[in-house]
Amino acid sequence: MNATIDKPKPRKLYCVLSARSLPYATSAFESLRANCLDEFDLTLLTDAAEDKGALISAVERLGVSEGHRCRVFAQSEADERAEALLGRHPNVAAFRFGHPCWRKVTDPLLFA
């Protein structure tokens, strides 16, 4: 009997951060890249397009290795997804903008 071994799916990781967080977040991302035994799919969510550019540059400098994936999205992209996905849930949509920190609760779900 020939059994096939399925390759595990990459671990899904989400982080909501500002480019102002890069001085300490870079160390965390370096450690993740160096020490994570699983392949990962990292989604970074940020505010402005300028922040997105800074995060992309930081990720490129880290050199995310083969088997890992990193994507970066600005708030405008999350807003588009929220409009499409939360349209039937106006209370969740309202919660999302109740306080800036509440996007840390809602936005990763938009990309999951």
Could you tell me the residue ranges of all domains in the chain?
11-111
Which segments of the chain have a pLDDT < 70?
1-4, 65-66
Cα distances (Å, whole numbers) of residue 51 to 33, 64, 73, 89, 95: 21, 19, 9, 28, 23
According to the model, what pLDDT value does residue 78 have?
Answer: 96
According to the model, what pLDDT value does residue 13 have?
Answer: 94
User: Tell me: the pLDDT tens digits for 75-96?
Assistant: 999 999 999 999 899 999 899 9
According to the model, what pLDDT value does residue 49 have?
Answer: 94
According to the model, what pLDDT value does residue 2 have?
Answer: 60
